[in-house]
Amino acid sequence: MVVLSDRDIKAAIKKRDIVIENMTEDQIGPSSVDLRLGNEFRIFKHSEVTHVDPRQGNIDHLMDLVEKTEDEAFIIHPGEFILATTREYVKVPDTMIARLDGRSSWGRLGIVVHSTAGSVHPGFQGRLTLEMANISKVPVKLWPGSRICQLTFEMMSSPAENPYNKRKESKYHDQKDPGISKISLDNVK
């Protein structure tokens, strides 16, 4: 696979092979695009929840959705895990994958931007859900609109035969808010 350079990213965006809505050109780095933190956060109702059972079905009732304005920070406490979302809406073509990484400036504050979901499949479109945690010993303010993560794009050897947007089992296609886990939809035997 080949990683796209800033020149290739700009060309792909101009041709609308890659679509990133609400982005400005200054978010494009040498080999990636910075994405900004949205204003919606999901937090577990930890004082009310005895456990999470992945086979139980919809777990939305176990989480609260918190919305902040541009001028309000969300405070993530030490050891806390939250779901957040990007401000930008992303469409990845059938010929590429994207890799989501936290920015090192946030990592140096103890903020982990994604726990496991680092790959964005060919054909995905939507706002990206961020699986965030604070592994430091102090609370950190998360400001909506802050550059929080980056996407790197890689060309595949051929277009995907069954891209994400055409698979009936795609659970997070066209998501717009911090999506809850839909693991109960997996085929568990």
Please, which pLDDT band fits residue 116 given cuts at 50, 70 and 90?
confident
Asked, for residue 140, whether it belongs to a domain, the answer is yes
Asked, for residue 137, whether it belongs to a domain, the answer is yes
Residue 159: both structure tokens together: 């277009």
Asked, for residue 91, whether it belongs to a domain, the answer is yes
Asked, for residue 174, whether it belongs to a domain, the answer is no
Please, which pLDDT band fits residue 101 given cuts at 50, 70 and 90?
very high
Range of the domain at 8: 2-48+60-167
| pLDDT at 189 (0 to 100) | 47
Q: Which residues pair with 63 in a beta bridge?
A: 44
Residues with Cβ within 8 Å of 186's Cβ and at least 6 positions away in sequence, in order, are none
Asked, for residue 139, whether it belongs to a domain, the answer is yes
Query: Is residue 118 within 8 Å of 101, Cβ to Cβ?
Result: yes
- Determine the longest span between alpha carbons in the chain, in angstroms: 50
Handedness of CA 21, 150, 85, 1 (dihedral sign): positive
| pLDDT at 46 (0 to 100) | 72
Q: What is the CATH number of the domain that holds 33?
A: 2.70.40.10
Asked, for residue 177, whether it belongs to a domain, the answer is no
Known catalytic residues are 131
Would the pLDDT of 55 be above 80? Answer: no
Amino acid of residue 23: M
- Residue in 75, 124, 66, 72 with CA at minimum distance from that of residue 95: 124
**Total domains present in the chain:** 1
- Residue in 114, 187, 121 with CA at minimum distance from that of residue 154: 121
Give per-residue pLDDT as tens, 31-41: 999 999 999 99
Please, which pLDDT band fits residue 179 given cuts at 50, 70 and 90?
low
Asked, for residue 186, whether it belongs to a domain, the answer is no
Amino acid of residue 121: H
Asked, for residue 180, whether it belongs to a domain, the answer is no
